[in-house]
Amino acid sequence: MKPLRSRYTPTARRRLATDLRQVCMRISRRARFENASELAPHQFSTLVQLEKGLSRPGDIARAECVSAPSMSRTLNKLMDLGFVRRDDDPDDGRAAVMQLTPEGREALKRVRRHRDAWMSGRIEHLTDDELDVLSQAREILARVVDR
């Protein structure tokens, strides 16, 4: 809860917000560039939706905020790459059931491994005190981004 009197003025809070946003966006950009050739951004995030358990093309399109025809095309491409499998829904003749193949899971793992390796290299040289700060920050930021 925000106390009535805070050491942080509105200006200081705004400044902190700006700095945090910028540094997060720069980290994100750099991490994304690692192994960027493995999967295009829309392909990666589509695989993530499948990993989360979404299986219907329409649901995935809505989750990714793209049109149904775009998702149709993306899923076709991912099937060509062998990362996604399509089956007919036994309960609804109109619907399709998409799922990750083992190769698709491996592709996700490879991309994440590269990104994580880059980030690990960044924090490698930090002191325990600095790691303590980042460890607490991780928890606060995770809480804050979701609410």
Partner DNA sequence: TATTGTTATACTCTATAACTATA
Partner DNA sequence: TATAGTTATAGAGTATAACAATA
Q: Which residues bind a copy of itself (CB under 8 A)?
A: 1-3, 6-8, 13-14, 16-21, 23-32, 112, 115-116, 118-120, 122-128, 130-131, 133-138, 140-142, 144-145, 147
Does position 63 interact with DNA (CB under 7 A)? The reply is: no
CA 137/CA 147 separation, integer angstroms: 16
CA 142/CA 21 separation, integer angstroms: 14
Within a 10 A sphere around the Cβ of 83, how many other Cβ atoms?
23
Q: In whole angstroms, how close is the CB of 85 to a copy of itself at the nearest point?
A: 27
User: Scanning residues 7 to 46, which ones bind DNA (CB under 7 A)?
Assistant: 40, 42-43
Spatial contact of 34 and 117, defined as CB atoms under 8 Å apart: yes
CA 57/CA 86 separation, integer angstroms: 10
Sign of torsion over alpha carbons 50, 56, 57, 61: negative
Q: In whole angstroms, how close is the CB of 10 to a copy of itself at the nearest point?
A: 9
* 95: partner contacted, choices a copy of itself, DNA, none (Cβ within 5-8 A by kind): DNA
- Residue 6 or 76 having the CB closest to DNA: 76
Residue of 118, 88, 74, 82 lying closest to 100 (CA atoms): 82
* 52: partner contacted, choices a copy of itself, DNA, none (Cβ within 5-8 A by kind): none
- Residue 103 or 132 having the CB closest to DNA: 103
- Residue 54 or 115 having the CB closest to a copy of itself: 115
